[in-house]
Amino acid sequence: MKQTKVAIIGGGVTGVSMLSHLVHDERFTSGITVDIYDNAYTMGRGQAYQEDNEHLLINVPADEMSLGESHPDYKSWLKPENGQELYTSRQQFGDYVKDQLETIASTHEEVHLRYAKVDGIEYDSSSGKFTLSIDEEEVLYDRVFLTIGQLRYGDPYNLKGSQGFLYDPYPLSRKLADIEDDNIGILGAGLSAIDCVRYLILDKQVKKVSLFSRSGDMPSVRGERAEIILRHFTEESLRDRIQNDEIALTDIIALFKEELAHQNIDESLFFRRTGNTLQDLNYDLEHQETVGRLQYLIIKVNPIFSDVYQYLSRNDKKAFLEKYHHLIEENHSPMPAEVARLLVQWGDEGRLHIIDGTEHIKKEDGFTILTKEGGEYRVDTLINATGPVKDVRRGDSEIIQSLMNHMIIAPSEFGGIMVDASRHVISPKVGTVRGMYALGALTIGSDYLSNSVQLLQKNAQKLINRFYEDIY
Ligand SMILES: Cc1cc2nc3c(=O)[nH]c(=O)nc-3n(C[C@H](O)[C@H](O)[C@H](O)COP(=O)(O)OP(=O)(O)OC[C@H]3O[C@@H](n4cnc5c(N)ncnc54)[C@H](O)[C@@H]3O)c2cc1C
């Protein structure tokens, strides 16, 4: 085999998983050299697991987090005093991933940690080589893995740059540390909004925090763990239904309903929400067994569904996203029960307010939030927790702009970029780019709800397998 020079762009969980599967594969030889790029702050941690406040928790129990078989699992890596905790801080998980990355680098002379951002990429389709621009330097590679994580944050009300508006709040312990305000607004009601609430109330002792969102919906509360053995919604039965490279949404729904019935899960659980968020959290806390069965079923079928997601026709994909996605999403990344209990308590004490129906925000002498029902709320400080954009045309990082400009990547209408079934990048100029692979937030249009550590890690393994098939 000829020498192969590989670049992994992004040292978060996906990049590290990719590297790990690459070097631990029996086909790995000293002919393959790997440079992994990220800045020093996020190398080995990515966005989610950077050094930050201890109250920012992983939403998955520690014993369900792992980087794969070549590493000690997270639970056994943790020091005994922390190993007892069901949910650890995300920073601690970052310590674990970084430690695994540094171990790989110190035991493989072919692997180099490059503490720099890649600013641009060009591709020569005749030689199949990529030129990466890093600061003033240009470096040639044979294969490139794009694992750059999420795109920039959204700004639905065009508030970026306004006084008192925190556009990107992470790391909270740095960006929110100097806030001296006892009435703070947060835009959004998802996991990032919950991070902000916990930090502000637990650490900064803020008296009143209000969450403003369009729907007010929060993730559900993680119920009891359930062992699910699938009978109907299996890989084989779904594959059997693929014809002419397509699977019908009606077939998928029918199989899923059969599975629900087999698992004794009442379909009405999907429609348990009342619109009163704190009441809904209480419901989940009081029904941990039934809610847990539904959540663990969803977690179990997620990778199987994600594998056939790309076989849905365009119309079926749209129909799925419109009709069913929110029902799955609400139950997919639940928050720990201990987090929910505190939210309910703060709600009862009048310290936390959840206001839905946000329609418009006026900027004048602070922020006035107007809701559909005619409500008007005023805050001086507003924190953005609306999450990242999905459309690469709105991503403003230099690397995205460079890839778009050289027509190496193209947007997918379902978010992220166009990739083939093996996650090779599809260029509008030269077609499938066999030397470039993408995974993570860039492939959300193809990998359904696959941004959890477990799924990223599994998908990285598949992708590395494809890489070895490509080079040998
Ligand atoms: C606040 C938050 C909390 C989360 N909590 C959980 C959780 O509890 N459990 C869970 O399973 N999942 C959680 N997630 C999902 C999380 O996104 C994934 O678990 C995972 O961390 C994604 O990893 P990634 O490597 O794909 O992306 P990222 O973590 O975003 O890493 C991408 C890396 O690429 C680097 N990069 C970008 N551009 C360049 C460039 N041009 N050159 C070099 N490097 C570059 C970035 O600096 C970054 O470090 C959370 C996500 C967020 C944002």
Q: Structural domains in the chain?
A: 4-152+389-471 (3.50.50.60), 165-218+336-384 (3.50.50.60), 235-332 (no CATH)
Q: What is the overall mean pLDDT for the chain?
A: 94
Mean pLDDT computed over 8-32 = 96
Cα separation, 98 vs 140, in Å, equals 26
pLDDT category of residue 216 using cuts at 50, 70 and 90: low
Mean pLDDT computed over 148-164 = 93
| Ligand 1: nearest atom to the Cα of 388 | 53
Q: Could you tell me the distance, in angstroms and rounded to a whole number, from the CA of residue 305 to the centre of ligand 1?
A: 23
- Residue minimizing CA distance to atom 51 of ligand 1: 48
What lines the ligand 1 site, CB under 6 Å?
Answer: 9-15, 37-39, 42, 46-48, 58-60, 90, 117-118, 147-150, 191-192, 397, 399, 440-441, 451-453, 456
Q: Could you tell me the distance, in angstroms and rounded to a whole number, from the CA of residue 185 to the centre of ligand 1?
A: 25
Q: Could you tell me the distance, in angstroms and rounded to a whole number, from the CA of residue 440 to the centre of ligand 1?
A: 8
Phi, psi of 437 (to 5 degrees): -120, 150
pLDDT at 84 over 80: no
Percentage of the chain exceeding pLDDT 90: 86
Question: Beta-carbon neighbour count of residue 266 at 10 Å?
Answer: 13
Rounded to an integer, what is the distance from CA 256 to the centroid of its chain?
Answer: 24
Probe target for ligand 1 pocket from 91, 392, 451, with the most ligand atoms within 8 Å of CB:
451
- Residue minimizing CA distance to atom 20 of ligand 1: 13
- Residue minimizing CA distance to atom 27 of ligand 1: 149
Q: Could you tell me the distance, in angstroms and rounded to a whole number, from the CA of residue 438 to the centre of ligand 1?
A: 14
Q: Could you tell me the distance, in angstroms and rounded to a whole number, from the CA of residue 127 to the centre of ligand 1?
A: 32
Mean pLDDT computed over 82-109 = 91
pLDDT in tens, 251-270: 999 999 999 999 999 999 99
- Residue minimizing CA distance to atom 1 of ligand 1: 48
Q: In the numeric block, which tokens belong to residue 182?
A: 């006892």
pLDDT category of residue 217 using cuts at 50, 70 and 90: confident
pLDDT at 394: 85
pLDDT at 181 over 80: yes
Kindly tell me the burial class for residue 253, based on how many C-beta atoms sit within 10 Å of its own C-beta (0-12, 13-18, 19 or more). Answer: middle
pLDDT at 72 over 90: no
pLDDT category of residue 38 using cuts at 50, 70 and 90: very high
pLDDT at 214: 87
pLDDT at 405 over 70: yes
pLDDT at 82: 64
Q: What is the DSSP string of 96-117?
A: HHHHHHHHHHHH-TTEEEEES-
pLDDT at 83: 59
pLDDT in tens, 381-400: 999 999 899 999 987 799 99
